[in-house]
Amino acid sequence: MQIDIWSDIACPWCFIGKRRLESALEDFEHRDEVEVTWHSYQLDPSLPEHYDGTETEYLASRKGMPEEQVRQMFGHVAEQAAGEGLAYDFDALVVANSARAHELLHLAKERGVAGAVKEALLSGHFEHGADIGDVDTLVRVGVDAGLDEAEIRAALEDGRYRPSVEADVSAARHIGVTGVPFVVVDMKYAVSGAQPPEVFREVLQKAWAEQTPAIQVVGDGSGGDACGPDGCAV
């Protein structure tokens, strides 16, 4: 069973949704046959690579919202995050563009460690004030996941994974994704947003039950000339 997840790193509901899906997967009896693929999505490609103010200041200036209101929003989100065991720290959060972090994720995907890198990026960003726009931070995350430092630096330098990031974003547009997290099961059912684990559980069961049980051999099986271990039909 294939699960495709579009998500950003600078996306508080994406981390919460990740935990809720994981909680549903824990109870899912066929979890060992599930393959998760992370796809890139950028909520705000216009974000500066680095921004010296706080996330509160950034949102307040960008949206024209009173800082107090932004702080209340964060309080609500942090509460939901805490409910999933996540310790969001909006005061420490570093505002940064996630483009390069997505490039790192694609390198990680090629090397089979996308899950670990995604987790480290989300946790770093929301819980530990990590700057996901900073190359050295990304190198550390990648190396911790087993990637080669020289390869990470070279990839972030020459942008070899930019087309892969763009392909993900364009696939999201094609599918009709307008917000993230966006979880697609077997390219058949989608769960939009960080819904409760029960919703994920239901979709997993439904998609599993509908999987084609086996390949159906067309015709009576005798119509085609073939070669087998004992020789070829003539």
Q: Count of residues binding a copy of itself (CB under 8 A)? A: 54
Q: Minimum distance from CB of 209 to a copy of itself (Å)?
A: 14
SS3 of residue 36 by DSSP: strand
Rounded Cα distance between 89 and 129, Å, is: 7
φ/ψ (deg, to 5) at 85:
85, 15
Q: Minimum distance from CB of 227 to a copy of itself (Å)?
A: 5
| Chain centroid to CA 25 | 15
Query: Are 23 and 193 a contacting pair, CB within 8 Å?
Result: no
197 binds a copy of itself per the rule CB under 8 A: no
Bridge partners of residue 4, in order along the sequence:
37, 184
Q: Minimum distance from CB of 4 to a copy of itself (Å)?
A: 9
Rounded Cα distance between 225 and 216, Å, is: 18
Query: Which residues inside 116-155 make contact with a copy of itself, applying CB under 8 A?
Result: none
Part of the chain binding a copy of itself (CB under 8 A), chosen from 102-110, 136-144, 149-157, 179-187: 179-187
Task: Tell me the torsion sign for CA atoms 224, 225, 230, 234.
Answer: positive
Query: Which residues inside 47-86 make contact with a copy of itself, applying CB under 8 A?
Result: 59, 63, 73, 76-77, 80
Q: Which residues bind a copy of itself (CB under 8 A)?
A: 8, 11-14, 16-17, 43-44, 59, 63, 73, 76-77, 80, 175-176, 178-182, 184, 187-196, 199, 202-203, 212, 215-219, 221, 223-229, 231-234
